[in-house]
Amino acid sequence: MQSQNNSIEVYVDGGSRGNPGPSGGGFAILQSGKVIDKGSEYFGEKTNNQAEYMALRIALKKVYDKYGDGDTEVNCFMDSQLVVEQMNGNYKVKSENVKPLFQEVRRIADQFKNFSISHVPREENYLADNLANRAMDRG
């Protein structure tokens, strides 16, 4: 169960080797500056953008299922500017293979009391990037 600090940071990364190609994603969930959960998953043959959204989906589901209590503030960070801008409503989702993933992730994000998503440079997303690369290595 969560402490009285209901603010969670989530670092997420997805990628593919080739586009499409073997893909995977990773995430790290932090509270009060400490990693409280992390994970990675191999997704199979996907595009880079599909992998980014699939990684975001598993991370947000984990936060909702394990740490969400209706009062949770989620601050998400990704190095994919495209996904961040689409999630913030600044770019349209044009790709037919990404639209359903975007819609599902948006529905999950809308369940939190507060949800924000911001772009960070890859160097600041090293933990999620490392986990995503490990997932691709498993494939």
- Give per-residue pLDDT as tens, 87-99: 999 999 999 999 9
Return the pLDDT at 139: 84
Return the pLDDT at 3: 44
| CATH code for position 124 | 3.30.420.10
Q: Which of 45, 115, 108, 105 is nearest to 76 (CA)?
A: 115
Q: What is the pLDDT of residues 51-72, one digit of tens each?
A: 999 999 999 999 999 988 778 8
Q: What pLDDT tens digit does each residue of the chain (139 aa) get? A: 344 468 999 999 999 999 999 999 999 999 999 999 999 999 999 999 999 999 999 999 999 999 887 788 999 999 999 999 999 999 999 999 999 999 999 999 999 999 999 999 999 999 999 999 999 999 8
Report whether 62 contacts 12 (CB < 8 A). no
Alpha carbons 74 and 138: distance in angstroms, whole number = 29
53 assigned to some structural domain: yes
pTM of the model: 0.94
Alpha carbons 38 and 137: distance in angstroms, whole number = 17
Domain assignment of residue 19, given as a range = 7-138
78 assigned to some structural domain: yes
108 assigned to some structural domain: yes
129 assigned to some structural domain: yes
1 assigned to some structural domain: no
2 assigned to some structural domain: no
Domains in the chain, number:
1
If phi over 0 gives left and psi between -120 and 50 gives alpha, with beta otherwise, what is residue 68? beta
63 assigned to some structural domain: yes
Structure tokens at 56: 């975001």
